[in-house]
Amino acid sequence: MAISESAGGQTAASLNPQSWILNPDDMATIDQIIEQVKQYSPEADLDLIKRAYKFAEGAHDGQVRLSGDPYITHPLEAARILADLEMDSASIAAGLLHDVVEDRRNISPAERRASGRAPSGQSL
């Protein structure tokens, strides 16, 4: 199967953007992700994940996807995939933050410091 084909033979270009809209019941939430991580890693740094989420949520405030969904649904889905793979807290935080630098080039040093500490112990 070619990369641009789906199992039904449609190409990505032929898909209707309205079909990309997530059912609200299927959207990942930070609470679901936290609970999932607690199940496979009881000693995980949940505070790091929560801080990453709050920072990403603020950075993407007001942004929407082509589907009309709030943009934060994308980082949450990325984090859910990482949690499904039972990745560590730093990886899940990275999933939540992966678009912040691209979308928010004007992050101040004060915002970086307020977001916490890097997993290595270095200040952000």
Inform me whether the pLDDT recorded for 104 exceeds 70: no
Structural domain includes residue 59? yes
Structural domain includes residue 120? no
pLDDT digits (tens, 9 = 90+) for 76-103: 999 999 999 999 999 999 999 998 877 6
Residue 111 contacts residue 87 (beta carbons within 8 Å): no
- The CA radius of gyration of the chain, in Å to the nearest whole number, is 16
Domain count along the chain: 1
103 tagged catalytic? yes
Q: How confident is the model at residue 116 (pLDDT cuts 50, 70, 90)?
A: low
> pTM above 0.85?
no
Structural domain includes residue 4? no
Structural domain includes residue 52? yes
CA dist., res. 65 & res. 40, Å (int): 31
pLDDT digits (tens, 9 = 90+) for 38-48: 999 999 999 99
Question: Which one from 31, 47, 86, 103 is the annotated catalytic residue?
Answer: 103
Structural domain includes residue 22? no
**What CATH number is attached to the domain comprising 47?**
1.10.3210.10
What is the reported pLDDT for 48?
Answer: 97
What is the reported pLDDT for 38?
Answer: 97
Q: Exposed (0-12), middle (13-18) or buried (19+): which is 16, by Cβ within 10 Å?
A: exposed
Structural domain includes residue 95? yes
Structural domain includes residue 2? no
31 tagged catalytic? no
Question: Which one from 25, 26, 43, 102 is the annotated catalytic residue?
Answer: 102
The domain in which residue 90 lies consists of: 29-114
What is the reported pLDDT for 112?
Answer: 57
Structural domain includes residue 16? no
pLDDT digits (tens, 9 = 90+) for 2-45: 333 344 554 444 555 555 555 666 789 999 999 999 999 999 99
